[in-house]
Amino acid sequence: MTHPTPLPTATASTPEAIPVTNPLRAPEDYRLPRIAGPSVLVIFGVTGDLSRKKLMPAVYDLANRGLLPPGFGLVGFARREWDAQDFAQVVHDAVKQHARTEFKEEVWQQLLEGIRFVRGEFDDDEAFDRLHQTLRELDESRGTGGNHAFYLSIPPDNFETVVSQLKRHGMAEDRQGHWNRVIIEKPFGHDLTSARQLNAVVSQVFPPESVFRIDHYLGKETVQNMLAFRFANQMFEPIWNNNYVSNVQITMAESIGIGGRAGYYDGIGAARDVIQNHLLQLLALTAMEEPNSFEAAQLRAEKQKVLAATRPPADIAAHTARGQYLAGWQGGKQVNGYLDEDGIAPDSITETYAAIRVEIDNRRWAGVPFYLRAAKRMPRRVTEVALQFKPAPHLPFTAAQTAGLGVNSLEMRIQPDEGITMRFGAKVPSTQMEIRDVSMDFNYGGSFTETSPEAYERLILDVLLGDPPLFPLQQEVDLSWQILDPILENWESSGKPEGYAPGTWGPASADAMIGRDGFTWRRP
C-alpha cells in the first residue's frame, strides 16, 4: 500500500492529522488519515511510569484509530525476568487502565501478534544481539520493512551506552529504503554545557534528521491550535504586538506535589523541568512571526528567531522568584512540605515554584515583559497563555462607572478545559452607565464532537511518519538554556527558596517581582 507524503497539520478540527495543502500540488482529501508505514517501536525503560501510563496506551489508541499498519511491532527492552507473554500482559493491563479509546479485542489481538520482549542490561552485548535478532524476525514475520524507532524512556546518563550499543550492533544506520530513528525524552541536559554534550553523544550515532526530541506539550491539540488561532484569523494580527499588549503571562500550575518523583525532581526543580522546555516553547509559538508554511524548516526557523531574541532580566534578583511548598492543608487534606517528602534532603534548595521575566528584543515585542511561572501545590491545575492589553488611551466614563472594569485580555487555555477566553468591558443592563468585565468563551468540548488525541499519540505517529515540525532541534534546546542558565546560576548562590503555603499562588516575592512592573499575576 502506498501512503501519501506526510505534511504538518493546519487545524485541530479532527483527531487525525490533516495535511496542509501546497497550492502548487493537487488538492488533498482532508478526510484521509495519515497512516504509518510498516515499522517497529522499541521502548527502552519499558517498566517505567511513562511507558505504562502514556506510551503503551498511545500505541493501542493509534491502532484502535486505524493509524498503525498491520505490519507493526512493539518491542520492550528491560532487565526484568519476563518473557514475551509477561510483557504482553503488562501492555494489556496498561491499555485497559490508561487507554483513551474503547478496548476492542480484535484490535488487541492484531497488536499482540507484533509484541516482543528482550531482557538485558544496557551494557549487555548479548542482549543487544538478541534485540537485533528480534528486529530481523519482525521484519520477516510481520513485514516491518527494516524501519525501527528507538524510544529512550531512560535517564540521560544511559543515553550514551544505549546509542553506542545500537551502533555497535548495526541497528543505527539507515539503509536504502529503510530508516532507524531515536526518540529522546526531556530533560535535554541540565544546562547548556550538558545539553551540548548529550547532543554530541547522540549525533555520533544518528544524523540530525533521525533524532526526535519529545516535548509532549507540542503534541497537545490546544498548543497546535495556537498556530491556527494566530495565523488563520485576520482579526488578531493588528493587535498582536507592543502597541496594544502590555504583558504576557505563561503559567503552568499543578495542584499536586512531587509525589514519588523525588529521585528525578530533586536537583532539577521547576525551572529546568518545565520552563526550559514547555514554557519557552509556548513563548516561541506565541511570539513568533508567521512562517511561510508549516513545513518543519519554516516553523523551526521562526521559533529560533524568537528564542535568539529573548533575554533574561538584567536584574535577576528583582525580576525572578523561586519558592518551596511548605506543609499545610490543601483541599481538605494535610500535605507534606517539600523538605518532608520521601527522598528529599532536609537542606535541599530545589525550587518547586519558579517565576521569571524575560523580554524579546525585536520590533514586535520590544518593551513587553513576558512572565513565565511554573509551580506545584497551587490552588488548581492549569496551563495557559494570557495576553493582557493596554488600557484605552481615553475613557469617556467616570471612575465610578468603570469601577468594575479590569484589563482586556485574551487567554488560551492549554489544559484543562481547553479553549480560549476573551475578556472585555460591557454595559450592565440598567438605566445607569456601568461597565463591568464579561467573558466570551470558546471551549473545545462544546464546539467539536471529536475528542482530542493524547499528545503522545500524535508524536509517536509523527516519528513513524518521519514528520518533524513538532520536535525541537538542538539549536532550540541551546537557545533555551542560554536564556535560563544565568538565572539558575544566580539562584544557586542565593540561598534557600522562599516558603509558600500549599493551595496558594506562591511566595510573596513573586507578587513583589511582577508588582515592580506595575502588574499583578492572574489567578486563573
Q: Which residues are catalytic?
A: 278
Chain-centroid distance, C-alpha 495: 30
- CA neighbor of 513 nearest in space, from 334, 249, 326: 249
Using CA atoms of 130, 211, 90, 119 in order, give the dihedral in degrees to the nearest 10.
20
Q: What is the helix (H) or strand (E) element at residue 107, kind and residue range? A: helix 105-112
DSSP 8-class letter at 9: B
Q: What are the angstrom distances between the C-alpha of 282 and each of 64, 217, 307, 357?
A: 30, 9, 11, 14
In 160-201, DSSP assigns E strands to: 180-185
Task: List CB contacts of 234: < 8 A, sequence separation 6 or more.
Answer: none
- What sign results for the dihedral spanned by CA atoms 220, 233, 288, 360? negative
Please name every residue paired with 251 in a beta bridge, in sequence order, or none if there are none: 373, 384
Cβ(14)–Cβ(24) under 8 Å?
Answer: no
Cα R_g (the chain), whole angstroms: 24
For residues 162 and 154, the answer to whether their CB atoms sit within 8 Å is: yes
CA torsion sign, 306 to 312 to 318 to 319? Answer: positive
- The side-by-side arrangement of strands in the sheet containing 72-78 is 115-119, 72-78, 39-44, 148-152, 180-185, 211-214
Residues 6+ apart with CB under 8 A from 507: 321, 322, 323, 353, 497, 498, 499, 500
Neighbours of 97 (CB within 10 A): 10
Q: Which residues pair with 185 in a beta bridge?
A: 214
Query: What are phi and psi for residue 480, nearest 5 degrees?
Result: -65, -40
Cβ within 8 Å of residue 447, ≥6 positions away = none
**Nine-digit cell string for 202:** 547522540
* Joined grid coordinates for residue 269: 526543580
Q: How many Cα atoms sit within 13 Å of 58 on the Cβ side?
A: 22
Residues contacting 268, CB < 8 A, separation 6+: 187, 190, 350
How many angstroms separate the CA atoms of 494 and 349, rounded? 10
Residues composing the chain: 524
